[in-house]
């Protein structure tokens, strides 16, 4: 029984983790110099602002959460890949198309790696990109509105994990498959995996003006698992690096069968070379169905287009563009330092941390210092690219970030710690425990030429006794460390939404000045927008009833509506007439099966109500908007199908007959 052996191994691993668990006491407050100092360092007094934004992925929540650092306060959960009844995301007519895919409407995904757009290798705060793993997609969030404005599906991909990192001028955001699959998809016995299943690495171009995404090309790679990736920068700009595991090409019981090889690979991709090949007509157009969904901020409405083909490049088409660097052992993180010279491969089952040198890699390529090939792709000699190794650094290395001052910080899942080490000398400078089982970590700007090395945020998988218990399901967690000194100082534990897989951080001042306060009514190009109460109306069109409604403190126009019948499809098109910051209104109807609308000033949204019962049914404002909020309500009278009650409504307290 192979699995019994493995389970024992897993239990040993867990015991290691648990041995570091303390018992959460119920004391609180400052105790001694350390806590007192930490308290002041993370305290953001009422009315003052945090120094940094942290965009933390929600993992299995499918969303992106916005926190402030150093306080750890959660400001917003941006709906990205999952429906959100609160904001009507995926429920209202305007955003439903955002979650369309080639598999139909998908209400959920597993969001992982946010990355902020860059200019000249520095984060520019225009957009943040994030990948959906499960039904492979890349989303773009606009950082003036903090709303998801574009989602592109990735065909031929499965478990879109080695994504969504951007190149140093945001030329591309990259999406790499985790699982290899038949490419193109087809009915095939699973045990014919080896040699037949392939992995897609997709380069998605970003329009520099509007940020529109388009799959420029996909590389059809050998049937490995592609785990993580990072772009080159500085001298290595033009290259992209991907870790692989399961180079064994196993297809069952991977915990055993994909852990056999002493070394797997980091794939080094010269995307500039492939781009040139493609620009000159290279690559093969292949049929592929994938959705491209765009939310238009003028019409406040999304549209979904189904694309039909994708350009595929096989490595053999572009000799000299792709190399493998052997890296022990099932490497997970693939992190590039701010200079672009060092590529850190975190072999999660390896005894040491492997650092490759970009310049040595170029030299090895020039010298053809190869150690065979894999499916025609040259394998560079391990020693030829090796810059150095951090010896005995910890157990289960996963990810590395950089402070811009020559130091690197690596997380160790099994030994539950963050280890600080020096680039170039590879010596360990400090190590601090995490509580518990840390995955990713983040330094604001850490994935760029210019990190802001004041804090590191560790994102942990297990918390057990760290917080007040909440039944069998307890929160996952982040921990904030001060890294301004030689030694790291743990400042704060704070809980997170879903599971935090990576984060992107930036100084507050980069985003504050351009954050939009409200939408201008005169710019509202929604098909059913009205900009004055006098234009409010109710229009019957067969069994569809369209209500053109406005909301302003503290009433709806119209507020009483008659003439609706059981069996009708009633569209509430509702415009918030307010023109000031932070004056939302909400609206929903009793029994409406499309959730509520939370509508910002100047915006129009639509929900559909299909009344099933005769009666008089109220609607009301769902967001406390003024001292007379409780009075902001209306009624819809629903008569039997075929009734002769005509459409009428009240406007400003007076009855109006419909046109």
C-beta of 473: minimal distance to a second copy in Å?
6
Structural contact between residues 561 and 538, judged by C-beta atoms closer than 8 angstroms:
yes
**Residue 432 CB partners (closer than 8 Å, separation 6+):** 417, 418, 481, 487, 488, 490
- Residue closer to a second copy by CB (options 52, 240) is 52
C-beta of 639: minimal distance to a second copy in Å?
5
Give the pairing type, strands 225-231 and 239-245: antiparallel
C-beta of 282: minimal distance to a second copy in Å?
27
- Torsion over CA of 109, 115, 119 and 124, rounded to 10 degrees? 100
C-beta of 189: minimal distance to a second copy in Å?
7
Give the pairing type, strands 633-639 and 615-620: antiparallel
- Residue closer to a second copy by CB (options 387, 511) is 511
| CA distances for 219 relative to 79, 149, 156, 200, 282, angstroms | 30, 26, 10, 6, 12
- Residue closer to a second copy by CB (options 216, 501) is 501
- Residue closer to a second copy by CB (options 340, 453) is 453
- Residue closer to a second copy by CB (options 71, 270) is 71
Q: Where are any strands of DSSP class E within 252-375?
A: 264-270, 284-296, 301-313, 322-327, 331-336, 342-347, 353-357, 370-374
Any idea what the Cα angle at residue 601 is, between residues 595 and 602, rounded to 5°?
A: 100
Backbone angles phi, psi at 505, to 5 degrees: -120, 155
Q: How far apart are CA 335 and CA 281, in angstroms?
A: 32
C-beta of 361: minimal distance to a second copy in Å?
25
Give the pairing type, strands 569-576 and 544-552: parallel
C-beta of 138: minimal distance to a second copy in Å?
15
C-beta of 39: minimal distance to a second copy in Å?
3
Backbone angles phi, psi at 36, to 5 degrees: -60, -45
User: Exposed, middle or buried, 522 (CB in 10 Å: 0-12/13-18/19+)?
Assistant: exposed
- Residue closer to a second copy by CB (options 398, 408) is 398
Give the pairing type, strands 213-221 and 301-313: parallel
- Residue closer to a second copy by CB (options 337, 578) is 578
C-beta of 171: minimal distance to a second copy in Å?
26
Any idea what the Cα angle at residue 304 is, between residues 298 and 308, rounded to 5°?
A: 135
| Of 36, 70, 155, 178, residue with least CA distance to 455 | 70
C-beta of 360: minimal distance to a second copy in Å?
28
- Residue closer to a second copy by CB (options 87, 140) is 87
Q: How far apart are CA 104 and CA 121, in angstroms?
A: 37
C-beta of 543: minimal distance to a second copy in Å?
17
- Residue closer to a second copy by CB (options 288, 321) is 288
Q: How far apart are CA 183 and CA 174, in angstroms?
A: 18
- Residue closer to a second copy by CB (options 167, 243) is 243
């Amino acid at each position: 029984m192979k699995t019994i052996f493995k389970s024992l191994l897993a239990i040993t691993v867990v015991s290691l983790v648990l041995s570091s668990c303390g018992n959460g006491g119920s004391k609180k407050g400052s105790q001694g110099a350390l806590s007192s100092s930490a308290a002041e360092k993370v305290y953001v007094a009422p009315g003052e602002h945090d120094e940094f934004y942290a965009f933390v992925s929600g993992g299995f929540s499918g969303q992106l959460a916005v926190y402030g650092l150093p306080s750890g306060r959660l400001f917003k959960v941006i709906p990205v890949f999952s429906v959100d009844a609160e904001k009507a995301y995926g429920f209202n007519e305007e955003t439903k198309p955002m979650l369309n895919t080639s598999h139909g409407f998908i209400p959920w995904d597993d969001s992982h790696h946010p990355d902020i757009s860059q200019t000249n290798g520095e984060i520019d705060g225009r957009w943040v990109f994030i990948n959906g793993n499960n039904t492979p997609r890349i989303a773009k969030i606009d950082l003036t509105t903090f709303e998801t404005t574009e989602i592109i599906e990735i065909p031929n991909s499965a478990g879109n994990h080695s994504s969504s990192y951007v190149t140093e001028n945001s030329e591309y955001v990259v999406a790499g498959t985790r699982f290899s699959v038949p490419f193109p998809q087809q009915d095939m016995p699973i045990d014919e995996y080896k040699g037949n299943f392939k992995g897609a690495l997709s380069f998605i171009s970003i329009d520099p003006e509007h940020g529109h995404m388009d799959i420029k090309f996909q590389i059809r790679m050998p049937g490995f698992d592609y785990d993580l990736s990072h772009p080159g920068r500085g001298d290595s700009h033009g290259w992209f690096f991907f870790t692989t595991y399961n180079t064994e090409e196993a297809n069952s019981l991977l915990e055993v069968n994909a852990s056999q090889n002493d070394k797997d690979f980091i794939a080094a991709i010269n995307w500039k070379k492939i781009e040139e090949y493609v620009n000159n007509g290279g690559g093969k157009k292949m049929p592929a169905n994938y959705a491209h969904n765009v939310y238009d901020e003028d019409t406040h409405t999304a549209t979904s287009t189904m694309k039909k083909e994708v350009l595929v490049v096989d490595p053999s088409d572009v000799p000299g563009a792709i190399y493998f660097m052997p890296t022990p052992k099932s490497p997970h993180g693939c992190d590039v330092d701010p200079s672009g010279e060092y590529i850190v491969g975190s072999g999660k089952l390896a005894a040491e941390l492997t650092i490759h040198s970009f310049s040595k890699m170029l030299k090895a390529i020039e010298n053809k210092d190869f150690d065979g090939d894999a499916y025609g792709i040259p394998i560079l000699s391990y020693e030829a690219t090796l810059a150095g190794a951090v010896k005995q650094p910890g157990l289960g290395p996963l990810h590395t970030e950089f402070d811009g001052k020559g130091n690197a910080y690596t997380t160790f899942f099994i030994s539950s710690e963050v280890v600080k080490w020096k680039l170039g000398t590879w010596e360990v400078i400090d190590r601090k425990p995490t509580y518990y089982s840390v995955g990713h970590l983040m330094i604001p700007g850490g994935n760029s030429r210019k990190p802001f090395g004041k804090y590191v945020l560790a994102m942990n998988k297990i918390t057990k006794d760290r917080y007040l218990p909440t039944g069998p399901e307890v929160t996952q967690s982040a921990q904030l460390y001060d890294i301004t000194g030689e030694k790291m100082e743990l400042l704060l534990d704070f809980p997170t939404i879903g599971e935090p897989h990576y984060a992107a951080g930036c100084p507050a001042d980069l985003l504050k000045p351009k954050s939009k306060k409200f939408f201008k009514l005169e710019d509202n190009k929604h098909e059913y927008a009205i900009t004055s109460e006098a234009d409010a109306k109710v229009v019957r069109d067969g069994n569809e009833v369209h209500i053109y409604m406005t909301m302003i403190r503290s009433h709806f126009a119209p507020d009483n509506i008659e003439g609706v019948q059981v069996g009708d499809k009633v569209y509430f098109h509702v415009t918030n007439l307010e023109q000031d910051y932070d004056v939302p209104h909400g609206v929903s109807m009793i029994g409406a099966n499309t959730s509520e609308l939370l509508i910002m000033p100047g915006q129009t949204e639509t929900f559909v109500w299909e009344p099933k019962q005769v009666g008089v049914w109220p609607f009301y404002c769902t967001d406390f908007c003024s001292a007379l909020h409780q009075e902001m309500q209306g009624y819809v009278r629903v008569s039997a199908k075929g009734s002769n009650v005509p459409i009428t409504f009240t406007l400003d307290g007076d009855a109006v007959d419909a046109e």
